[in-house]
């Protein structure tokens, strides 16, 4: 089934007109998409397939960007930037509010498209990804409105080159685009190769909102397009979210170029359960921490540390809960765990888990689909702290677990990683929680909860998880520089 056929067969519920509008746009494109440059879709060029990971069917054909495409996108962004900045914060806010409202109007379509393209459960795209994306635009429309007073003495960098991963395609786009626009920058964005459809739908929201041509440009394709964008001499600021390996390459490639840079990279976040924790809640939290989005989450609580006295009880509860998780068609609203994003990622997860010879592997006894990119919720215990599985990001529904005796041992184990993105701790004792939290080396620490995001709360890592923050006033600052410094304006 193609995207068009799926949309045609869907019941749009409460938003028939908006979905029909967007559907009309998709049908107009055929199933071949060009780039969004200078306010219009380009003709498709050399195309590659974008597939539904749940069943392997081709959803659409997308264009592999070239140097000429990137040059055209950067030129369009440069041409638009001065006037966009001159509009002033309140002027820009009008457009950003319009984008937020359009995303709200087309929420259902965004959610379905994201689920088809990425494989995440529809419940998550509908209730988490898309609402958070809208919220990000509303929040940054507010930031734009305040820009001239709150950010007096600062101005936009100019043209921003933005490269994003496949795990939260729309949400990562909004984290990049909304603050950049609010501060008066224009952007050239590359979505991940296999999850570009919601970015292209967003491009159409830009058109519908009447956003001035060239303020947002989207070029699709593989990593080489990302490289062309981040190294382009006329890009003033680079914002990247993705793996630590690619982040390192980007830092090397931009060193000495004068470009501003923020990197949001990988993680191996600890999830600490103290013996006085409410164990049932901690198990539910863990389901969210590691099986949300099939564990393909930068801040996934992928390293369980549980205090020895309650370890047996906790593991028993956890395994019982794992067995009840439902793995299956991402479009099914009752599903907890959807599809892995593509066969290559599935292969990586399988290879890593199969490399485990030192520990004990427990696979959830849940029913598995017969075909498609699926992997069962998995727990590996009994590994030494130096084991690669305890140290490397698996980026799949795989939890590794170990025990600790004392709070200080918990802190040592938690910080025994090259990453520092997030950490979670569970305790009913506020003194323990408040004592331990500041000792954890992580950009964000959650207490008795996990994966709590808000557009107003800055998010980002330390160590090899990157630098810079997205969200909140800190996120806005990253898209500005002192007025009058540099070439951009």
DSSP lists the bridge partners of residue 402 as: 305
Q: Strand 237-241 and strand 159-163: pairing?
A: parallel
Question: What gap in Å lies between CA 474 and CA 468, rounded to an integer?
Answer: 8
Which residue from 338, 401, 461, 471 is in contact with ligand TAP, where contact means CB under 6 A? Answer: 461
Kindly write out the interface string for residues 128-167 of this chain, putting x where it contacts ligand TAP by CB under 6 A and - elsewhere: -----------------------------------xxxxx
Residue 392 binds to ligand TAP (criterion: CB under 6 A)? no
- For 420, other C-beta atoms within 10 Å of its C-beta total 23
Burial 427-439 (b: 16+ CB within 10 A, else e): beeeebbeebeee
Which residue from 76, 159, 192, 476 is in contact with ligand TAP, where contact means CB under 6 A? Answer: 192
Which residue from 53, 119, 158, 267 is in contact with ligand TAP, where contact means CB under 6 A? Answer: 267
Compare residues 49 and 308 and give the one whose CB is closer to ligand TAP: 49
Question: What gap in Å lies between CA 170 and CA 102, rounded to an integer?
Answer: 14
3-state secondary structure at position 241: strand
Catalytic site residue 347? Answer: no
Q: CB of residue 422 vs ligand TAP: minimum separation in angstroms? A: 9
283-312 binders of ligand TAP (CB under 6 A): 298
Catalytic residue among 124, 264, 275, 470: 264
Total binding residues toward ligand TAP, as defined by CB under 6 A: 30
Compare residues 64 and 427 and give the one whose CB is closer to ligand TAP: 64
Q: What single string gives the DSSP state of each residue in 70-139?
A: HHHHHHHHHHHHHHHHHTHHHHHHHHHHHHHHHHHHTHHHHHHHHHHHH---HHHIIIIIHHHHHHHHHH
Q: CB of residue 216 vs ligand TAP: minimum separation in angstroms? A: 17
Compare residues 266 and 401 and give the one whose CB is closer to ligand TAP: 266
Angle at 53 between CA 52 and CA 58, to 5 degrees: 30
Question: What gap in Å lies between CA 252 and CA 256, rounded to an integer?
Answer: 9
Which region among 74-82, 263-271, 323-331, 370-378 touches ligand TAP (by CB under 6 A)? 263-271
Residue nearest to ligand TAP (CB): 226
200-229 binders of ligand TAP (CB under 6 A): 222-223, 226-227
Residue 243 binds to ligand TAP (criterion: CB under 6 A)? yes
Q: What Cα–Cα distance (Å) separates residue 113 from each residue in 27, 49, 193, 259, 327?
A: 14, 15, 15, 34, 19
DSSP lists the bridge partners of residue 305 as: 272, 402
307-336 binders of ligand TAP (CB under 6 A): none
Quick one: tokens of 56? 């392997």
Residue 397 binds to ligand TAP (criterion: CB under 6 A)? no
Q: CB of residue 166 vs ligand TAP: minimum separation in angstroms? A: 5
Residue 376 binds to ligand TAP (criterion: CB under 6 A)? no
Burial class from Cβ neighbours inside 10 Å (0-12, 13-18, 19+) for residue 210 reads: exposed
Q: Can you give the binding site for ligand TAP, defined by CB under 6 A?
A: 163-167, 190, 192-193, 222-223, 226-227, 230, 241-243, 246, 249-250, 264-267, 298, 393, 395, 421, 461, 465-466
Q: What residues are labeled active site?
A: 264
């Amino acid at each position: 089934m193609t995207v068009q056929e799926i949309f045609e067969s869907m019941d749009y519920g409460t938003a028939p007109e908006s979905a029909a509008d967007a559907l009309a746009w998709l049908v107009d494109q055929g199933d071949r998409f060009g780039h969004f440059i200078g306010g219009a879709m380009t003709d498709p060029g050399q195309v590659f397939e974008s597939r539904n990971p749940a069943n392997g069917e081709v959803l659409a054909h997308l264009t592999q960007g070239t140097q000429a495409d990137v040059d055209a996108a950067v030129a369009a962004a440069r041409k638009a930037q001065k006037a966009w900045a001159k509009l002033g914060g309140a002027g820009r806010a009008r457009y950003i509010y319009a984008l937020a409202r359009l995303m709200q109007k087309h929420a259902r379509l965004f959610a379905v498209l994201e689920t088809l393209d990425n494989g995440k459960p529809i419940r998550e795209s509908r209730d988490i990804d898309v609402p958070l994306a809208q919220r990000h635009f509303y929040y940054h429309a507010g930031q734009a409105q305040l820009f001239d007073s709150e950010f007096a003495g600062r101005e936009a960098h100019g043209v921003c080159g933005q490269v994003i991963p496949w795990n939260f395609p729309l949400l990562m786009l909004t984290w990049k685009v909304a603050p950049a626009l609010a501060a008066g920058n224009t952007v050239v964005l590359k979505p991940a190769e296999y999850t570009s459809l919601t970015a292209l739908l967003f491009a159409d929201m830009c058109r519908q909102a009447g956003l001035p041509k060239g303020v947002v440009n989207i070029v699709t394709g593989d990593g080489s397009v990302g490289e062309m964008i981040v190294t382009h001499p006329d890009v003033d600021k680079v914002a990247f979210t993705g793996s630590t390996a690619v982040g390192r390459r980007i830092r090397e490639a931009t060193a000495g170029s004068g470009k501003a840079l923020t990197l949001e990279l990988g993680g191996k976040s600890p999830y600490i359960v103290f013996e006085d924790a409410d164990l049932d809640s901690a198990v539910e939290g863990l389901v969210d921490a590691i099986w949300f989005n099939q564990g393909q989450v930068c801040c996934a609580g992928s390293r369980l540390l549980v205090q020895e006295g309650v370890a047996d009880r906790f593991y028993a509860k956890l395994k019982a809960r794992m067995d009840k998780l439902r793995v299956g068609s991402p479009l099914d609203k009752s599903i907890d765990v959807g599809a892995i994003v593509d066969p290559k990622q599935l292969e990586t997860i399988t290879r890593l888990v199969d490399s485990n010879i030192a520990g004990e592997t427990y696979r959830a006894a849940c029913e598995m689909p017969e075909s498609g990119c699926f992997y069962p919720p998995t727990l590996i215990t009994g590994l030494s702290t130096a084991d690669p599985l305890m140290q490397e990001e698996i980026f799949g529904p795989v939890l590794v677990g170990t025990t600790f005796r004392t709070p200080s041992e918990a802190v040592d184990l938690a910080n025994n990683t090259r990453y520092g993105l997030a950490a979670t701790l569970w305790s009913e004792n506020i003194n323990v929680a408040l004592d331990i939290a500041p000792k954890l080396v992580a950009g964000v620490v959650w207490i008795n909860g996990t994966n709590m995001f808000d557009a107003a709360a800055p998010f980002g890592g330390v160590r090899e998880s990157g630098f810079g923050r997205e969200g909140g006033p800190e996120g806005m600052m990253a898209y500005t520089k002192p007025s009058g410094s540099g070439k951009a304006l």
